[in-house]
Structure 1
Amino acid sequence: MKYRQLAIKNVAGNWHQYIAFFLSSVFSVMIFFIYAEFIFHPGVVNGTIRAADKVRNGLIACEYIIFIFSFFFVLYSNSAFIKSRKKEFGLFTLLGMNHWQLKRMVWYESSIIALVSIAVGMAFGSLFAKLFFMTLAELLKTNDPIPFRFVPKAVGITAGGFFLLFQVITLFNLFRLRRSKIIDLLQAAKKPKNVPAFSWFLVLLSLICLGTGYYLACISNMSNIVKTFFVVLFLVITGTYFLYTQGSTAIFRKLQRMKSVYYKQTHLITISQLVFKMKDNARLLFAVSILSAVVLTASGTIYVFYHDSRSQLLEQYPQTIGYEEQGMEGHPVMDPQRIRDIMRQDKVQIEYEFEMTGVAVPFQVKYINTTDTSALMIPASKYNELAERKAWKPVKVEEGHALFVFPYRNILGHDFFAKGDLLETSIGEHKMSFEMDGQIEHGLGNTSIRIRSFLIINDEHYRQLMDSTPDAFKIRYYGFELKNWERTNDTVNRVISEIDLEQKPYFTSRVQNYLDMAQANSLALFIGIFISVLFFIAAGSMIYFKWFTELQEDQAVYRSLRKIGMTPAELKRVITTQIGLVFFIPFMVGTVHACFAFKALGNLLAVSVWKYGLVVIGLFFFMQYLYFILTRYAYMRRILK
Structure 2
Amino acid sequence: MTFSSIIRKNFYYNFNKFISFYFVNSLIIAMLFMYGSLIYNPSILDSVGKTTLYETVNMALLGIVLFSVVFITYTNISFLKNRGKEFGMYLTLGMTTKDLTKIIFVENLGIMSASLVTGVFTGALFGRLFYLGLNRFLINTKVVYELNYKSFLLSIGVFVLIFIGNLIFNIIYIKRISIIDSIKASKKKEIGNTHVILGAIALVILVISMYCLPKTLLKEIFKDQSYMIGVFVALIMICPYIVIGSLMGVVKSLLRRFPKTYNSNLLVLSNLSHRFLSYKNILYMLSILTAGAMFFVGYSYSMFKSSEEFVRRDNPYDLMFIETEKYNVTEKEDIEEVISDSGGKIEKYSVLEYVEIPLFREDRDQYIYRTGSQMILSETNYNEHMGTNIDISSKGALYVTTYEEKMEFQHPTSILTSIDESRMDEFQEVALKNNFIISEDQINEFKDDNIALVINGENIKEEKGVPFVNERSTMEYSLGNALVLDDEDYEFLKSSRKEEYIKRFIYLM
**TM-score, normalisation: structure 2:** 0.58
Does residue 236 of structure 2 align to residue 212 of structure 1? no
Q: CA deviation at 1:122?
A: 1.7
1:243 equivalent to 2:243? Answer yes
> Match of 1:272?
270
Deviation readout 1:10-49 (Å, 9 max, x if unpaired): 342436xx43x433321322344456678999xx7xx9x9
Q: Does 1:5 align with 2:8?
A: yes
- Asked whether 1:411 is paired with 2:411, we answer no
Deviation at 1:506, TM superposition (A): 1.8
Q: Secondary structure of 2:348's match?
A: strand
* 1:506-545 matched pairs, under 5 angstroms: 506-507=505-506
Matched, 1:82 2:80: yes
| Structure 2 CA distance for aligned equivalents of residues 166 and 154 of structure 1 | 18
CA–CA distance in 2 between the matches of 1:450 and 1:291?
Answer: 37
The separation in 1 between residues aligned to 2:147 and 2:209, in whole angstroms, is 48
Give the C-alpha shift of residue 155 in structure 1.
5.3
Cα deviation for residue 311 of structure 1 reads: 2.2
For residue 113 of structure 2, what is the aligned residue in structure 1? 115
Q: Equivalent residue for 1:257?
A: 256
Aligned counterparts of 1:145 and 1:276: Cα–Cα separation in 2: 52
Shift in Å, 1:320: 1.0
Q: 2:17 aligns with which of 14, 17, 26?
A: 14
Q: Is the 2:349–2:508 contact (alpha carbons within 8 Å) kept by the matching residues of 1? A: no
CA contact (8 A) 1:316 1:447 kept: yes
Cα deviations by residue, 1:80-134 (Å, 9 ceiling, x for unpaired)? 122123234445555x362455554444432332221111012223435667889
Distance 1:3 1:336 in 2: 87
Equivalent position of 1:353 in the other structure: 347
SS in 2 for 1:216: helix
Query: Residue 407 of structure 1 contacts residue 441 of structure 1 at CA under 8 Å; is this kept in 2?
Result: yes
Q: CA RMSD of the aligned region, Å? A: 5.6
- For the 8 Å contact 2:323–2:506, the answer to whether it is kept is no
Q: Are the aligned partners of 1:33 and 1:154 in contact in 2 as well (CA < 8 Å)? A: yes
Tell me the CA shift for residue 63 of structure 1. 6.7
The residue type equivalent to 1:214 in the other structure is M
Query: Is the 2:401–2:464 Cα contact (8 Å) retained in structure 1?
Result: yes
Find out whether 1:343 has 2:349 as its counterpart. Answer: no
- Structure 1 residue identity aligned to 2:347: E
Q: What is the DSSP-based 3-state SS (H/G/I as helix, E as strand, rest coil) of the residue aligned with 1:196?
A: coil
1:71 offset after TM fit, Å?
3.8
Distance 1:106 1:450 in 2: 58
Structure 2 distance, partners of 1:156, 1:405, is 45
Q: Does the 8 Å contact 2:105/2:167 carry over to 1?
A: yes
Q: Does the alignment pair 1:443 with 2:438?
A: no
CA distance in 1, matches of 2:385, 2:49: 47
Is residue 22–residue 113 contact of structure 1 (8 Å, CA) maintained in 2? yes
Aligned to 1:488: none
CA distance in 1, matches of 2:157, 2:115: 13
* Equivalent in 304, 307, 310 of residue 306 of structure 1: 304
- Is structure 2 residue 173 aligned with structure 1 residue 176? yes
Q: How many residues align?
A: 398
Quick one: distance in 2 between partners of 1:414 and 1:174? 51
Change (3 A) 1:87 1:508: farther
Going from structure 1 to structure 2, the CA distance change for 1:334 and 1:177 (only over 3 Å counts) comes to same
Q: Hey, what's the Cα distance between the residues in 2 that align with 1:371 and 1:64?
A: 35
Equivalent residues of 1:213, 1:235 under 8 A apart: yes
**Paired residues of 2:191 and 2:278 also in contact (CA < 8 A):** no
Change (3 A) 1:30 1:261: farther
Q: Distance in 2 between matches of 1:451 and 1:186?
A: 67
- Residues 453 and 409 from structure 1, CA distance in 2 versus in 1: closer, same or farther, beyond 3 angstroms? farther
Query: Within 2, Cα distance between the matches of 1:192 and 1:222?
Result: 42
Q: Counterparts of 1:314 and 1:160 in 2: how far apart (Å)?
A: 41
Are the aligned partners of 1:111 and 1:167 in contact in 2 as well (CA < 8 Å)?
A: no
Aligned-partner Cα distance in 1 for 2:320–2:40: 42
Alignment CA distance shift 1:450-1:506 (3 Å): farther
Cα 1:372–1:288 shift into 2, 3 Å: same
Question: 2:250 is aligned with what amino acid?
Answer: I
The answer to whether the 8 Å contact 1:221/1:411 transfers is no
1:162 aligns with 2:159: yes
Q: Is the 8 A contact 1:255 1:261 kept in 2?
A: no
Residue matched to 1:290: 288
Cα deviation code 1:187-244 (max 9, x no counterpart): 55567987724263x3354144224313423644644477353232133234333323
Q: How far is 1:74 from its partner?
A: 2.3
**What SS is found at the alignment partner of 1:298?**
helix
Aligned counterparts of 2:194 and 2:181: Cα–Cα separation in 1: 24
Structure 1 residues 480-499: aligned runs within 5 Å: none
- Specify whether residues 219 and 80 from structure 1 end up closer, same or farther in structure 2 by C-alpha distance, changes over 3 A only: same
Structure 2 unpaired stretches of 5+:
355-361, 363-373, 390-398, 412-461, 473-478, 492-499
The amino acid across from 2:383 in the alignment is M
In the alignment, what sits opposite 1:234?
234
What SS class does the counterpart of residue 383 from structure 2 fall into?
strand
The 1:189–1:341 alpha-carbon spacing in structure 2 relative to 1, beyond 3 Å, is same
Q: Which has the higher helix share?
A: 1
Task: Determine the C-alpha separation between the residues in 1 that align with 2:468 and 2:151.
Answer: 51
One-letter amino acid of the counterpart of residue 172, structure 1 = F
Q: Is the 8 A contact 1:36 1:154 kept in 2?
A: yes
Which residue in the other structure is 1:24 paired with?
A: 24
CA distance in structure 2 between the aligned counterparts of 1:204 and 1:68, rounded to whole angstroms:
29
Kindly state the Cα deviation for residue 281 of structure 1 after the two structures are TM-superposed.
Answer: 3.3
**1:377 alignment counterpart:** 383
Q: Cα–Cα, structure 1 residues 128 and 337, in superposed 2: closer, same or farther, change >3 Å?
A: farther
Matched to 1:353, the amino acid is E
Instruction: Indicate if the aligned counterparts of 1:316 and 1:443 stay in contact, CA closer than 8 A.
Output: yes
Counterpart CA distance in 2 for 1:255 and 1:68 is: 38
Q: Shift in Å at residue 9 of structure 1?
A: 0.8
Cα 1:413–1:270 change in 2 (3 A) is farther
**Structure 1 pair 252–33 and aligned structure 2 pair: CA distance change class (3 A):** same
Structure 1 residues 203 and 72: alpha-carbon distance in aligned structure 2, compared to 1, 3 A threshold: closer
